[in-house]
Amino acid sequence: MSALTLTLRAPPPQRVDLSALTPDRLQGLDQTAIARLPLQCGNRAIAVGDLFTVAAGAPDDLRLVGDCARLDCIGAEMTRGAVTVEGNAGAYLGHALRGGRIHVQGNADVGAAREMRGGEIVIEGDAGDFLGGARPGEMKGMSGGFVLVRGNAGDRAGDRLRRGTIIVEGALGAYAASRMIAGTLIGLGRSIGPYPAFAMKRGSLILLSRPERALPSFADCGRHDLAFLRLLLRTLKGRSPRLDALAARPPIVQRLAGDQSVGGKGEILLWQE
Amino acid sequence: MIINGVAIEDTFAEAFGMTATRLLITADAPEWAMTAAQSLTGFATSVIACGCEAGIERSLTAEETPDGRPGVAVLIFGMSGKDLQKQLRDRVGQCVLTCAGTACFAGLRDGAPLKLGGALRYFGDGHQISKRLDGRRYWRIPVMDGEFLCDDSVGTTKAVGGGNILILGASRPAVLAAAEAAVAAMRAVPEIILPFPGGIVRSGSKVGSKYKGLIASTNDAYCPTLKGQTRTALSPDVAAVLEIVIDGLTADAVRAATRAGIAAACARGAANGVLRISAGNYGGKLGKFHFHLREVMA
């Protein structure tokens, strides 16, 4: 069966919450029923059919075609299937994702993978600020699953990250891994914004380049050969060619422990050639 | 049944249900992985007094291990999951955690889990780091040469312990040479270990003793020096007997090892002083698994 394809007629005038359109929620609905589903656009309700042309197909293979930069919460809370965005995605992509796979061919806006618990998100372009973070007031960000950003990530990537793995192949903005609780954030780019791992409790921030400015509250623990890195590369093999290329490098990293200003036991692992 | 002049007795080996697990030990060099494995599986010949039975299954190439370093697979058998848990904690804690450059991974992932790193993590005194990768939890425990990397838990499986063969021969050197050949052939079989020194036991035992409180004592029926003194199982031409005990993850693995061992012993033949192949049992009442030698060799 072919994919259930929703093609954007025109970018909406206001932001639209798309959390109603996930493989879970579209099970058993035919083309007409899907076109009639209500969506909130700014302060008024519109139907899916007003926004998209609907081509019937398997809801477990949902495709969104067009510039979806104003469509927020794509794939929110989904547990199964795959969502492909053939264009840009709006804010809060994959909010509280539990399972399944989201693939964005363009960029994603602020708060992608926010409070994600499982599954996989791949963003071919850039991700906005607070990748894998938490809603304001929530104490825990992403707590499981895997995120790959092939482009750059904005500020505060991995804020309050609790568990799971995030790989950013491009640049990381300011304060990456801020307030991190646990989990792993890997930054493969050459440009690392200032003050990474601010207020980090635990967890690992793995970087290939030195940040432009570093916090003084991280203690240098020296250079070490960690078997853990070999295990990490083996488990993540095949997901990012740039990460796979590291297998040829000896796993010798400089370990910086902190953030000592909050009694943190996290680490920045600097894996330089 | 006679193979190459060696009589295969019409009897069976009686084996028991056990609980088993597999660990994968890696290190920077194969020698150090082997050192840790030998230490871990030392003093683990029989559950009678060692708490478990353990042995080296095989060496692993770097491609076969989770961290891409050379390693060794070991199998550990206990009478229950509880017994095995205590042995795992103590043996991995004293023999692998302590061994230079090693890491320890679960070689079985299914079945009732036992704690591995989950029991050893406290050694890190609060500096231990938990990492969850691909749904599995690992522990990084800081030690003086870096970090000890360890799976949080390991799976277990119902297994078979106490499969055996007895090699009867015309002289001690003849029986030892046949037993060595049998051990070499059996070690090539996957999913089994031979827990005794060099794979061979010379002190086969019977249940009970004339002494109160001793649960096992020498198998006098198979002691050549008592041939005229007790109800012997040995014919006048038998001068020595050696046993090979087999623990396996499955009955099929034990059967395959039994067959390989008998075939190798018989290959030396009557011409080299190998006279008969027998097996130890308790009349079939105690053990769940029976390996009839003639069926195994058929």
pLDDT at B211: 94
User: What mean pLDDT value characterizes chain A?
Assistant: 95
Please list every residue in chain B whose beta carbon sits closer than 8 Å to the beta carbon of residue A267: 129
3-state DSSP percent of chain A in helix, strand and coil, to 5: 10, 35, 55
> Within an 8 Å CB–CB cutoff, is residue A240 touching chain B?
no
Residue B239 is classified by DSSP as -
Examine the pLDDT at A114 and tell me if it is beyond 90: yes
CA angle, A241 then A245 then A251, to 5°: 135
Residue B134 preceded by cis peptide, ω within 30: no
Length of chain B, please?
Answer: 298
Confidence at B215, pLDDT banded by 50, 70, 90: confident
Nearest to A228 among B127, B132, B147 (CB): B147
Please list every residue in chain A whose beta carbon sits closer than 8 Å to the beta carbon of residue B69: 227, 230
pLDDT at B98: 97
User: Chain B residue closest to A221 (CA)?
Assistant: B146
Nearest to A231 among B127, B130, B138 (CB): B138
Confidence at A251, pLDDT banded by 50, 70, 90: confident
Pairing label, strands B289-292, A16-17: unpaired
User: Chain B residue closest to A225 (CA)?
Assistant: B146
| pLDDT tens per residue, range B84-137 | 999 999 999 999 999 999 999 999 999 999 999 999 999 999 999 999 998 899
- DSSP element (H, E) containing A256: strand A252-258
| pLDDT tens per residue, range A208-249 | 999 989 999 999 999 999 999 999 999 999 999 999 999 888
Rounded CA-CA distance A197/A215 in Å is 8
| pLDDT tens per residue, range A81-91 | 999 999 999 99
Check CB contact under 8 Å for B68 and A230: yes
| pLDDT tens per residue, range A125-151 | 999 999 999 999 999 999 999 999 999
Check CB contact under 8 Å for A226 and B69: no
Residue recorded with tokens 């990250």: A161
Give backbone dihedrals phi and psi of A102, rounded to 5 degrees, phi first: -120, 130
| pLDDT tens per residue, range B259-295 | 999 999 999 999 999 999 999 988 888 789 999 999 9
| pLDDT tens per residue, range B31-84 | 999 999 999 999 999 998 899 999 999 999 999 999 999 999 999 999 999 999
User: What mean pLDDT value characterizes chain B?
Assistant: 96
Query: Pick from B138, B137, B133: which is nearest to A146 by CA?
Result: B133
Domains of chain A: 3-270 (2.160.20)
Amino acid identity of residue B38, one-letter, is Q
Examine the pLDDT at A1 and tell me if it is beyond 80: no
Confidence at A181, pLDDT banded by 50, 70, 90: very high
pLDDT exceeding 90 applies to what percent of chain A?
95
Can you say whether residue A175 is alpha, beta or left, with left for phi > 0 and alpha for psi between -120 and 50 degrees? left
Amino acid identity of residue B259, one-letter, is R
> Within an 8 Å CB–CB cutoff, is residue A117 touching chain B?
no
> Which residues contact residue B201 at a Cβ distance below 8 angstroms, ignoring those fewer than 6 apart?
B45, B242, B243, B244, B245
The answer to whether ipTM exceeds 0.85 is yes
Check CB contact under 8 Å for B67 and A230: yes
pTM for the model stands at 0.92
Average pLDDT over residues B14-20: 96
Q: Where are the domains of chain B?
A: 2-14+160-297, 18-157
Check CB contact under 8 Å for B146 and A182: no
Q: What is the CATH number of domain B18-157?
A: 3.30.70.520
Check CB contact under 8 Å for B146 and A230: no
> Within an 8 Å CB–CB cutoff, is residue A227 touching chain B?
yes
3-class secondary structure, B248: strand
Query: Pick from B174, B277, B181: which is nearest to B222 by CA?
Result: B277
Structure-token pair, residue A154: 């904005």
pLDDT at A110: 97
Give the count of alpha carbons within 13 A of B239, CB side only: 9
> Within an 8 Å CB–CB cutoff, is residue A184 touching chain B?
yes
> Within an 8 Å CB–CB cutoff, is residue A265 touching chain B?
yes
Examine the pLDDT at A71 and tell me if it is beyond 90: yes
> Within an 8 Å CB–CB cutoff, is residue A237 touching chain B?
no
Interface A-B: count of C-beta contacts within 8 A: 51
Please list every residue in chain B whose beta carbon sits closer than 8 Å to the beta carbon of residue A247: 68
Domain B2-14+160-297: give its CATH architecture.
2-Layer Sandwich (3.30)
Nearest to A265 among B127, B132, B146 (CB): B127
pLDDT at B284: 83
Rounded CA-CA distance A88/A146 in Å is 20
